[in-house]
Structure formats: structure tokens, C-alpha cells
């Protein structure tokens, strides 16, 4: 009974938990992890003022990755993409903030690193489209789908970000 009541309160708190803005899904790909870029990438999002609400290192299954990239299933590189993404651990994250989907995509750069400006993650750290270090959701809709594919609701932490007062009007 006590557990049920506590669970209900936790559930209420979870749904009431809504900081500013929206959420997006980000993954540091196996090449980013192998090249020790995890700290550098997280540092950029933190300094920007985005709020980290979910984070884990995992070896993603091919099944998960096939689903994650389902929209690209007819592209010739689909199998290679799934192989590469499952070739080592990835760091899966959820970030929150005002216009965070767009902001993160801007900070990541273009799909092709050669077209990514210096100062962006792909512009600074990679050269080939097939090893482009990082994934970020491309819309609020895909962010919602990807977050629920990669994270269980209880893995997303609702916490008061004291910097919020200095970031938002
Ligand atoms: P993005 O990751 O910028 O959202 P996307 O969704 O079009 O790009 O493609 C997903 C990933 O697939 C991309 O990060 C790298 C890979 N990819 C895209 N185009 C490719 C190509 N022409 N050759 C090889 N890999 C490609
Ligand atoms: Mg994409």
C-alpha cells in the first residue's frame, strides 16, 4: 500500500516535471567513444546551458539500431550503418532546453563533416559521413520516438537546474 502511494506520488512528480523547452535524443557514436570525445562533447552542451536529463553508456543491439534508423532502411548504406553503430559502446543522452532539437543540430553540424562549419562537433572532429561521431534527433517528433526507444521513463531524471534562473527570462 505504501509503495503504491509512493509510486503514485512519483508518477505525479514525473508528469509535473517540466523544465523549460523540449527534449532531444543525442548519441555519441562508437567512433566518438573510441576517440575519447565523450567529455568534450558533453562539455559543449553543458556550457551552452542545456540540461542533461538522461545518460548511459551501452552496447546497442542491431535490433535497436535497425529500429532507430528505420527511416533509412532503403538506403544502400543502411546495413553498414547498423554494423558501425553496433561495433562498440555508444553514449545515449537526453538533453532539455528551449529549442533544444534545433540547437543541438546546429551544434552538431551537417550530416557530411566536409560541409560542417568549424566550431560544430562534426566540423571539428571528423572527416567522413560514415564516421560522423554523433547523432541528434532531427525534429521534436523523432526526438519523442527516439527517447522512448532508448530510455525507460524512470531513467530520465527530473532535477531542478539552478542555472535556469540565469539562462531564461
Ligand atoms: P544525420 O545523422 O545528420 O541526421 P541522416 O539521418 O540523414 O543524417 O543519416 C543518418 C546517418 O547515416 C548519418 O549520420 C551517417 C549515415 N549516412 C547518411 N548518409 C550517408 C551516406 N551517403 N553514406 C554513408 N553513410 C551515410
Ligand atoms: Mg537523422
Query: In degrees rounded to 5, what are phi and psi of residue 130?
Result: -80, -5
Average pLDDT per consecutive 10 residues, the chain (169 residues; last block may be shorter): 42 55 98 98 98 98 98 98 98 98 98 98 98 98 98 97 96
Q: How many CA atoms lie within 13 Å of 35's alpha carbon, on the beta-carbon side?
A: 15
Which ligand places an atom closest to the C-alpha of 105?
1
Q: Give me the residues paired with residue 97 across strands.
A: 22
Q: Whole-angstrom Cα distance, residue 21 to residue 96?
A: 7
- Name, in order, each residue with C-beta under 8 angstroms of 86's C-beta and a sequence gap of 6 or more: 30, 59, 60, 61, 62, 65
pLDDT at 35: 98
Centre of ligand 2 from the C-alpha of residue 136, in Å: 7
Q: Whole-angstrom Cα distance, residue 12 to residue 17?
A: 8
Q: Whole-angstrom Cα distance, residue 30 to residue 45?
A: 19
pLDDT at 48: 98
**Residue 135 appears among annotated catalytic residues:** yes
**C-beta 112 within 6 A of ligand 1:** no
Centre of ligand 1 from the C-alpha of residue 15, in Å: 34
**C-beta 158 within 6 A of ligand 1:** no
Closest among 44, 27, 29 to 124, alpha carbons compared: 44
Q: Give me the residues paired with residue 93 across strands.
A: 26, 55
Which ligand places an atom closest to the C-alpha of 135?
1
Probe ligand 1: pick from 110, 130, 134, 145, max atoms within 8 Å of CB? 130
pLDDT at 84: 98
**C-beta 23 within 6 A of ligand 1:** no
C-alpha cell recorded at residue 93: 543522452
pTM exceeds 0.85 for this model: yes
pLDDT at 17: 61
Q: For ligand 1, atom 7, name the residue with the nearest CA.
A: 111
**C-beta 106 within 6 A of ligand 1:** no
Amino acid at each position: 500500500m505504501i509503495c503504491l502511494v509512493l509510486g503514485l506520488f512519483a508518477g505525479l512528480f514525473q508528469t509535473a516535471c517540466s523544465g523549460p523547452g523540449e527534449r532531444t535524443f543525442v548519441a555519441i557514436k562508437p567512433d566518438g567513444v573510441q576517440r575519447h570525445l565523450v567529455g568534450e562533447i558533453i562539455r559543449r552542451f553543458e556550457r551552452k546551458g542545456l540540461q542533461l536529463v538522461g545518460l548511459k553508456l551501452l552496447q546497442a543491439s542491431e535490433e535497436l539500431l535497425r529500429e532507430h534508423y528505420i527511416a533509412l532502411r532503403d538506403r544502400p548504406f543502411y546495413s553498414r550503418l547498423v554494423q558501425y553503430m553496433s561495433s562498440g559502446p555508444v553514449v545515449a543522452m537526453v538533453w532539455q532546453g528551449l529549442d533544444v532539437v534545433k540547437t543541438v543540430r546546429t551544434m552538431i553540424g551537417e550530416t557530411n563533416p566536409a560541409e560542417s562549419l568549424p566550431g560544430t562537433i562534426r566540423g571539428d572532429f571528423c572527416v567522413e559521413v560514415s564516421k560522423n561521431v554523433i547523432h541528434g534527433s532531427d525534429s521534436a517528433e523523432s526526438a519523442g520516438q527516439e527517447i522512448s526507444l532508448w530510455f525507460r521513463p524512470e531513467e530520465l531524471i527530473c532535477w531542478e537546474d539552478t542555472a535556469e534562473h540565469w539562462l531564461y527570462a
